[in-house]
Amino acid sequence: MDTIGKIFSQLGEYRKQTLLAPLFTLASVALEVAIPFVMGILIDRGISAGDMGQVVLWGIVMLVCAAVALVVGALSGVFGSEAAVGLATNLRDAEFKKVQTFSFSNIDKFSTAGLVTRMTTDVTNVQNAFQMGLIIATRAPITLIVSMAMCVFLSPSMSLVFVVAMVLLGAALFGIMFHTLPMFGKVFERYDDLNASVQENVNAIRVVKAFVRERFENKKFANAAGELHDLFVAAESMLAWNNPVMMCAIYGCIIALSWFGTHAIMNGNLTTGELTSLFGYIMNILMSLMMLTMVFVMLTISAASANRIVEVLEEEPDIVSPENAIMEVPNGSIDFENASFSYRTGTGESTLDSLSLHIESGETVGVLGPTGSGKSTFVALISRLYDVSAGKVEVGGNDVRAYDTEVLRDAVAVVLQQNTLFSGTILDNLRWGNEHATREECIAACQAACADEFIDRMPDGYDTQIEQGGTNVSGGQRQRLCIARALLKRPRVLILDDSTSAVDTATDASIQRAFAEQIPSTTKLIISQRVSSFGACDRILVLDAGRVAAFGTEAELLETCDIYRDVYEAQNKAGSEADFDPLEGGAVDPLSQRYDPAFASELAAAGVAVAGAAAADAAVADAAAQDAAVSDYRSQERGE
Ligand code: ADP
Residue 422 Cα, ligand 1 centroid: separation in angstroms?
Answer: 25
Which residue has its alpha carbon closest to ligand 1 atom 5? 374
Question: Could you tell me if 567 and 440 lie in one domain?
Answer: yes
Q: Tell how strand 523-527 and strand 364-368 pair up.
A: parallel
Containing structural domain, residue 608: 334-627
More confident: 610 or 178: 178
Both ends of the chain: CA-CA distance in Å?
65
Over 90: is that where the pLDDT of 96 sits?
yes
Decide: 504 and 617 in contact? Cβ < 8 Å.
yes
Question: Could you tell me if 308 and 388 lie in one domain?
Answer: no
Distance from C-alpha of 470 to C-alpha of 480, rounded to nearest angstrom? 12
CATH of the domain at 250: 1.20.1560.10
Over 70: is that where the pLDDT of 577 sits?
no
pLDDT in tens, 14-46: 999 999 999 999 898 888 888 888 988 998 898
Burial of 517 (0-12, 13-18, 19+ CB in 10 A): exposed
Residue 470 lies in a domain: yes
Over 80: is that where the pLDDT of 209 sits?
no
Over 90: is that where the pLDDT of 67 sits?
yes
Which residue has its alpha carbon closest to ligand 1 atom 13? 372
Please give the mean pLDDT across all residues of the chain: 81
Question: Could you tell me if 253 and 345 lie in one domain?
Answer: no
Which residue has its alpha carbon closest to ligand 1 atom 26? 346
**What pLDDT sits at residue 1?**
59
Question: Could you tell me if 286 and 168 lie in one domain?
Answer: yes
Residue 640 lies in a domain: no
**What pLDDT sits at residue 635?**
41
Residue 344 Cα, ligand 1 centroid: separation in angstroms?
Answer: 11
Which residue has its alpha carbon closest to ligand 1 atom 11? 372
pLDDT in tens, 554-573: 889 888 888 888 888 887 76
Question: Could you tell me if 262 and 340 lie in one domain?
Answer: no
Distance from C-alpha of 54 to C-alpha of 133, rounded to nearest angstrom? 40
Residue 576 Cα, ligand 1 centroid: separation in angstroms?
Answer: 28
In this prediction, residues 9-17 reach a mean pLDDT of 90
In this prediction, residues 58-80 reach a mean pLDDT of 93
Question: Could you tell me if 277 and 344 lie in one domain?
Answer: no
Ligand 1 is surrounded, with C-beta below 6 A, by 108, 343, 345-346, 351, 369, 371-377
Provide φ and ψ at 476, rounded to 5°: -65, -40
State the total domains in the chain: 2
**What pLDDT sits at residue 469?**
67
Over 90: is that where the pLDDT of 578 sits?
no
Residue 549 Cα, ligand 1 centroid: separation in angstroms?
Answer: 18
More confident: 548 or 242: 548
Question: Could you tell me if 117 and 265 lie in one domain?
Answer: yes
More confident: 474 or 524: 524
Question: Could you tell me if 345 and 269 lie in one domain?
Answer: no
Residue 404 lies in a domain: yes
Residue 475 lies in a domain: yes
Which residue has its alpha carbon closest to ligand 1 atom 12? 351
Give Dmax (Cα) for the chain.
Answer: 118
Q: Which atom of ligand 1 is nearest to the CA of 417?
A: 2
Within 13 Å and on the Cβ side, how many CA atoms surround 239?
19
Distance from C-alpha of 327 to C-alpha of 329, rounded to nearest angstrom? 7
Question: Within its chain, how far is the Cα of 12 from the centroid?
Answer: 23
Provide φ and ψ at 498, rounded to 5°: 55, 35
In this prediction, residues 574-589 reach a mean pLDDT of 43
**What pLDDT sits at residue 615?**
33
Residue 373 Cα, ligand 1 centroid: separation in angstroms?
Answer: 8
Decide: 395 and 382 in contact? Cβ < 8 Å.
yes
Residue 478 Cα, ligand 1 centroid: separation in angstroms?
Answer: 23
346 pLDDT tier (thresholds 50, 70, 90): low
The residues, any chain, with a CB within 8 Å of residue 470's CB and separated by 6 or more, are: 420, 421, 422, 478, 481
Over 80: is that where the pLDDT of 622 sits?
no
Q: What is the dihedral of CA 510, 515, 516, 521, to 10 degrees?
A: 180
In this prediction, residues 331-343 reach a mean pLDDT of 93
In this prediction, residues 393-417 reach a mean pLDDT of 90
Residues of the chain with pLDDT > 70, as a percent, come to 87
In this prediction, residues 183-202 reach a mean pLDDT of 75
**What pLDDT sits at residue 472?**
77
In this prediction, residues 446-456 reach a mean pLDDT of 87
**What pLDDT sits at residue 124?**
93
Residue 413 Cα, ligand 1 centroid: separation in angstroms?
Answer: 20
Question: Could you tell me if 238 and 375 lie in one domain?
Answer: no
In this prediction, residues 201-230 reach a mean pLDDT of 80
Decide: 277 and 257 in contact? Cβ < 8 Å.
no
Q: Which atom of ligand 1 is nearest to the CA of 546?
A: 10
Model-level pTM greater than 0.85? no
H-run or E-run covering 202: helix 156-203
More confident: 151 or 211: 151
Residue 324 lies in a domain: no
